[in-house]
Amino acid sequence: MEEQLLERANVLVPPEALARQRDFQEKIRAMFAAREAHPLACVDTFGCQQNEADGQRLKGMLREMGFTLTAEPREADLVLLNTCAVREHAEQRVFGNLGIFTHTKKENPEQIIGLCGCMAQEERVSRRVRESYRHVDLVFGPHALWRFPELLWQAYETKKRVFSVEDQHGFIAEGLPVERDRGVRAWVSVMYGCNNFCSYCIVPYVRGRERSRDPEAVLAEVRELVEAGYKDITLLGQNVNSYGNDLERGYDFSDLLEEIDRIPGEYLIRFMSSHPKDATKKLFDTMARCRHVAKQLHLPFQSGNDRVLREMNRRYTRQQYLELVSYARSVMPGLVLTSDVIIGFPGETEAEAMDTVSLVEEIGFDALFTFIYSPRPGTRAAEMPDPVSRAEKQVWFDKLLAVQNARSASLHEAYVGKTLKVLVDGESGDPAFPLSSRTEGNRLVRLKGDNSLIGQFTQVRITGSNTWALYGEAADSAHPVL
């Protein structure tokens, strides 16, 4: 027991260490003030919502250091690429971008170029950057994110390249500054890391072991967001269903949802992702009961074939997945269900890929995130024989897409004529339907109406649809939609 408590102490960054980082923030601010400089920083984030949330923390720290944020890397004094390693394509894009920065740095030799996020944590990547991208000044992985002020100060002071990419279990740093997007949506990480080691996936190698934030810290953050007017709050974790395992308090994710739900206000709570092996009836019963919890579930199944699921190390079967969905739907009629799928896992046959397509047909998802397998060096699957050509995988993938697109289009069609509650979250960029909004199930609805509706929950009548979106007007509007 004592040893486990000690482990927790090793995970939580102590307040003195965070105070030291604030000192570094202040030193950088003072350095620019002495030069009467008004530095600009550009943070470009790739990948998942967890990385977006990290990007908002980096921006928060930069603000504290006196930087103004810009979207234009050319004019920035500091460029940070906050990267994703989940598929090869994402990595290639980043290396392409890094190449471009040789030019911006030629124009502005004082410019600092930083690489952070999941790619930076890969030994193979940091080595390549060290050797072949000598204009990159600062490289740090997710484990060192909380030490960003210190690392940046080091880069300014020593004028040498700084690398902080050691392989670690990872940390929890509470109270880092944050620069959130304005609007109605916000992210809250409830845990970090992953222990699941699905055989295709790089995430456990770059994000460390599962660490749950204390429930008190999560509750305080959600309360603050609700009070600040955020209305659509997504709780994040690679597998929120294992939230609390490391806290040893007998407190799980359902308990957290239940407590959050008691926070007064008009808001929705969503969460992602849920691993089917750890999804419980208790979770679904809690979702059904909690007024603020959206009746929407992202439950990635990855493959509809048991042999492939075993090779992927997913630890559930097709039948178990079907049973989970059936229970969730029984307690939440109208549940919006989405999932992630991989086609072309090493050794997958056409018949096995078609098992995935048939599961999609059988369940009828509201939306799917579909991927063709991408080998990630260092993972177990990357060592497996992979005899099927990319072209053949693409044919299977297209079949899957055709099934899902037909399903999405017919689901959307069935909404036409109905009245729904939506949250208007911004402008759509479409002059005919200038507002963008989301249903409780997170479905996109483009709306006629004026900007005063932004940030409001409102009733809308659905007047049209296609595969990707619904179209509508405020239900009490006097103007018919053509």
Q: Which residues bind ligand SAM (CB under 6 A)?
A: 48, 86-87, 200-201, 203, 238-239, 273, 275, 300, 302, 340, 342, 371, 373-374, 376
Neighbours of 186 (CB within 10 A): 23
Q: How far is the CB of 204 from ligand SF4 (least distance, A)?
A: 5
The nearest distance, CB 119 to ligand SF4, in angstroms, is 15
> CB of 61 within 8 A of CB of 25?
yes
What sign does the dihedral 237-243-244-247 (CA atoms) show?
Answer: negative
Answer with the entry of ligand SAM, ligand SF4, ligand F3S, none that 388 interacts with (C-beta below 5 to 8 A by kind): none
Q: Bridge-partner residues for 302, per DSSP?
A: 341
State which residue, 91 or 252, has the beta carbon closest to ligand F3S.
Answer: 91
Number of residues that bind ligand F3S (CB under 6 A): 12
Rounded to the nearest whole angstrom, what is the least distance from the CB of residue 50 to ligand F3S in the complex?
5
- Measured from the CB of residue 318, what is the shortest distance to ligand SF4 in angstroms? 17
Of the candidate residues 58, 85, 236, 240, the single one contacting ligand F3S (CB under 6 A): 85
Token couple for 428: 């759509």
Instruction: Select the span of 8-16, 44-52, 349-357, 415-423 touching ligand F3S (CB under 6 A).
Output: 44-52
In the list ligand SF4, ligand F3S, ligand SAM, none, the entry touching 51 (Cβ below 5 to 8 angstroms by class) is ligand F3S
**Nearest distance from residue 86's CB to ligand SF4, in Å?**
8
Residue 197's binding partner out of ligand SF4, ligand F3S, ligand SAM, none, with CB under 5 to 8 Å set by partner kind? ligand SF4
Rank residues 374 and 467 by Cβ distance to ligand SAM and give the closer one: 374
**Close Cβ partners of 119 (under 8 Å, ≥ 6 residues apart):** 83, 84, 85, 90, 91, 94, 125, 206
Cα dihedral: 93, 95, 101, 102 (round 10): -140
CB atoms within 10 A of CB 134: 10
Burial (CB count within 10 angstroms: exposed 0-12, middle 13-18, buried 19+), residue 480: exposed
Question: To the nearest 10°, the Cα dihedral for 5, 236, 279, 262?
Answer: 90
Closest approach of ligand SAM to the CB of residue 326, in Å: 20
- Give the range of 40-48, 64-72, 199-207, 283-291 binding ligand SF4 by CB under 6 A: 199-207
Q: Can you tell me whether residue 222 is helix, strand or coil?
A: helix
